């Protein structure tokens, strides 16, 4: 029996912060009390730092197999632990796309290299780009956490309608990268003043909103749990609010970058600001913040999309879409939302633990007796600068480089096993 005693925690427990000690036995939370004086194999003084449930990110790209020069399951998961995360959902836009039982089983085998809990999305359609549905029933049985063609919209309404019915029948979830390929029009930046100024092909908001409107109607008809990836538009927020009020089974996520940046921040041709969906207008950004605060938006997800530096230093036209994000999500959200009193720390933690767990039916996201000891210790007072050299991820391209933040992860545990320590 291994026991770990964590003393002097500012513990997020039962949705409240309390000064507590915490005893872990055999990888599970065994006891929570104001003072615990039992013998333990290891005693950790949390020094009044935050002890939170391990954070959950339902949207990451780990690039293995196929593009391991960008990231591997090992580097991505270690980066996640550095960010305070203990559970992530990996997108299936790898090579090969795990769109059949053999490749999916192989993906699950590879995911065992993860130092945290890496759960796997299965693609909705073959190759993520065709209109032939994946063997949804087989992939669900093998353990797909949900289905997504992330990176690609599903353009054909009939394909989406059929997919929703089959995903509903196996009681799974459909996470949609909402993008009408025709309206996307090979753009690289939001349609707005920055696009005009830099003379770049633009992505219209309607590429997101028109497909979202269609999908909400299809979700209503099929009853499937429809989850919207990386919501980026004000109209999107409004539609989701209406859909929720109408009883449609819809949830959605927003990224830290869409909450904190708009195309106003793009002052030069710097692909650290290039991702899909693109940074939208200030008006969109404000609507996303309102949607997050009023509960229309259910959770924070990073869309951690690492690329090699050589794939990101070629300007907006030629660089890849996507930015690194899993190591900066908590400190950015804490610094810009909690320290500025836009929301409470409890609210932020809920958005990064309890809400994603509930939405996807995970038994995780809470520190309670008998739960797996997935947790992270964070020094909220530690002030530092976001620097390339501090990333564990192979992806170091971030629009937040040089920014000053609070909140440094000290240690992360998965099933009571230390997976990150400063």
Ligand X SMILES: NC(=O)N[C@@H](CC(=O)O)C(=O)O
Binding residues for substrate are: 61-63, 93, 276, 307, 321-322
Chain positions 165 to 184 lying near ligand X, rule: CB under 6 A, are 177
Query: Which residue numbers belong to the known binding site for Zn(2+)?
Result: 59, 61, 150, 177, 230, 303
Choice from 149, 276, 302, 319 touching ligand X (CB under 6 A)? 276
* Closest residue by Cα to residue 12 from 398, 371, 384, 420: 371
Q: Which residue, 25 or 61, has its beta carbon nearer to ligand X?
A: 61
Choice from 4, 279, 301, 305 touching ligand X (CB under 6 A)? 305
Binding partner selected for residue 275 from ligand X, Zn ion, none, CB under the kind-specific 5 to 8 Å limit: ligand X
Query: 310: how many CB neighbours lie within 10 A of its CB?
Result: 10
Choice from 53, 98, 151, 407 touching ligand X (CB under 6 A)? 151
56 scored as a contact of ligand X (CB under 6 A): no
Active site residue 303: yes
CB 366 to ligand X: min, Å: 28
Q: Give the number of residues in contact with ligand X, rule: CB under 6 A.
A: 11
Binding partner selected for residue 93 from Zn ion, ligand X, none, CB under the kind-specific 5 to 8 Å limit: ligand X
CB 93 to ligand X: min, Å: 5
* Closest residue by Cα to residue 141 from 93, 92, 104: 104
359 scored as a contact of ligand X (CB under 6 A): no
Three-class DSSP category at 59: strand
What is the Cα–Cα distance from 169 to 149, expressed in whole angstroms?
19
* Closest residue by Cα to residue 11 from 44, 53, 54: 53
Q: Which residue, 52 or 320, has its beta carbon nearer to ligand X?
A: 320
128 scored as a contact of ligand X (CB under 6 A): no
- Complete DSSP assignment for 279-319: P--HHHHHHHHHHHHTTSS-EE---B----GGGTSSHHHHS
Binding mask 7-46 for ligand X (x = CB under 6 A): ----------------------------------------
Residue given tokens 């538009």 in the structure block: 233
Are 85 and 326 in contact, with CB atoms under 8 Å apart? yes
Residue given tokens 């591997």 in the structure block: 72
What is the Cα–Cα distance from 327 to 76, expressed in whole angstroms?
10
Q: Which residue, 276 or 335, has its beta carbon nearer to ligand X?
A: 276
Q: Which residue, 94 or 248, has its beta carbon nearer to ligand X?
A: 94
Binding partner selected for residue 257 from Zn ion, ligand X, none, CB under the kind-specific 5 to 8 Å limit: none
Q: Which residue, 51 or 175, has its beta carbon nearer to ligand X?
A: 175
Residue given tokens 């400190």 in the structure block: 331
Are 30 and 23 in contact, with CB atoms under 8 Å apart? yes
Number of helices (H) and strands (E) in the chain: give both, helices first.
Answer: 14, 18
Chain positions 316 to 355 lying near ligand X, rule: CB under 6 A, are 321-322
What is the Cα–Cα distance from 270 to 131, expressed in whole angstroms?
35
* Closest residue by Cα to residue 226 from 299, 152, 148, 291: 148
Binding partner selected for residue 215 from ligand X, Zn ion, none, CB under the kind-specific 5 to 8 Å limit: none
Residue nearest to Zn ion (CB): 177
175 Rama class: left (phi>0) / alpha (psi -120 to 50) / beta = beta
Residues that bind Zn ion (CB under 5 A): 150, 177, 303
Q: Which residue, 211 or 276, has its beta carbon nearer to ligand X?
A: 276
CB 311 to ligand X: min, Å: 10
Q: Which residue, 321 or 384, has its beta carbon nearer to ligand X?
A: 321
Choice from 57, 64, 208, 303 touching ligand X (CB under 6 A)? 303
384 scored as a contact of ligand X (CB under 6 A): no
* Closest residue by Cα to residue 395 from 344, 299, 328, 333: 328
Give per-residue burial for 325-358: e unless 16+ CB within 10 Å, then b. bbbbbbbbbbbbbbeeeebebebbbbbbbbbbbe
195 scored as a contact of ligand X (CB under 6 A): no
Tokens of 401: 């480089």
Tokens of 205: 């908001």
Choice from 5, 44, 52, 275 touching ligand X (CB under 6 A)? 275
150 scored as a contact of ligand X (CB under 6 A): yes
Backbone angles phi, psi at 156, to 5 degrees: -90, 120
CB 107 to Zn ion: min, Å: 16
Interacting residues of 234 by C-beta distance below 8 A, sequence separation 6+: 280, 283, 284, 286, 287, 288
Name the catalytic one among 303, 379, 390, 404: 303
154 scored as a contact of ligand X (CB under 6 A): no
Binding partner selected for residue 304 from Zn ion, ligand X, none, CB under the kind-specific 5 to 8 Å limit: none
CB 177 to ligand X: min, Å: 5
Interhelix angle for 234-245 vs 282-293, to 10°? Answer: 30
Which residues belong to the active site? 303
List contacts with ligand X (CB under 6 A).
61, 93, 150-151, 177, 275-276, 303, 305, 321-322
């Amino acid at each position: 029996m291994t026991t770990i005693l964590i003393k002097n925690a500012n513990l997020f427990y039962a949705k409240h912060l309390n000064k507590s000690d915490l005893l872990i036995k055999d990888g599970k939370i065994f006891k929570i009390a104001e003072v615990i004086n039992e013998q333990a194999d290891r005693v950790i003084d949390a020094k009044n730092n935050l002890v939170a449930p391990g954070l959950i990110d339902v949207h990451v790209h780990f690039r293995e197999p196929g593009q391991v020069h960008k990231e591997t399951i090992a580097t991505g998961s270690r980066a996640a632990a550095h960010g305070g995360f203990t559970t992530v959902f990996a997108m299936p836009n790898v090579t090969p796309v795990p769109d059949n039982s053999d490749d999916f089983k192989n993906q699950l085998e590879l995911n065992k290299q993860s130092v945290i809990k890496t759960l796997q999305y299965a693609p909705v359609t073959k190759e993520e780009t065709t209109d032939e549905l994946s063997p949804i029933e087989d992939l669900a049985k093998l353990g797909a956490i949900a289905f997504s063609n992330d990176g690609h919209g599903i353009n054909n309404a009939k394909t989406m309608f059929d997919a929703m019915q089959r995903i509903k029948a196996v009681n799974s979830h459909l996470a949609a990268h909402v993008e009408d390929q025709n309206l996307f029009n090979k753009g690289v930046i939001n349609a707005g003043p920055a696009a005009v100024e830099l003379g770049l092909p633009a992505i219209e908001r309607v590429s997101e909103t028109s497909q979202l409107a269609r999908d909400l109607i299809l979700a209503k008809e099929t009853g499937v749990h429809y989850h919207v990836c990386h919501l980026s538009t004000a109209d999107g927020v409004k539609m989701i609010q209406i859909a929720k009020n109408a009883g449609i089974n819809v949830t959605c996520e927003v990224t830290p970058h869409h909450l904190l940046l708009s195309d106003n921040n793009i002052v030069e041709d710097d692909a650290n600001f290039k991702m899909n969906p693109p940074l939208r207008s200030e008006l969109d950004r404000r609507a996303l913040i309102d949607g997050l605060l009023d509960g229309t938006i259910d959770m924070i997800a990073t869309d951690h999309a690492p690329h090699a530096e050589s794939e990101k230093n070629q300007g907006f036209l030629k660089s890849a879409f996507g930015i690194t994000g899993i190591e900066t999500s908590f400190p950015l959200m804490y610094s810009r939302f909690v320290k500025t009193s836009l929301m409470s720390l409890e609210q932020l933690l809920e958005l990064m633990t309890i809400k994603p767990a509930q939405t996807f039916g995970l038994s995780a996201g809470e520190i309670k007796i008998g739960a797996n000891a997935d947790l992270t210790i964070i020094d909220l007072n530690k002030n530092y600068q976001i620097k390339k050299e501090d990333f564990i991820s192979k992806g170091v391209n971030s629009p937040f480089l040089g920014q000053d933040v609070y909140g440094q992860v000290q240690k992360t545990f998965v099933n009571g096993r230390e997976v990150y320590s400063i």
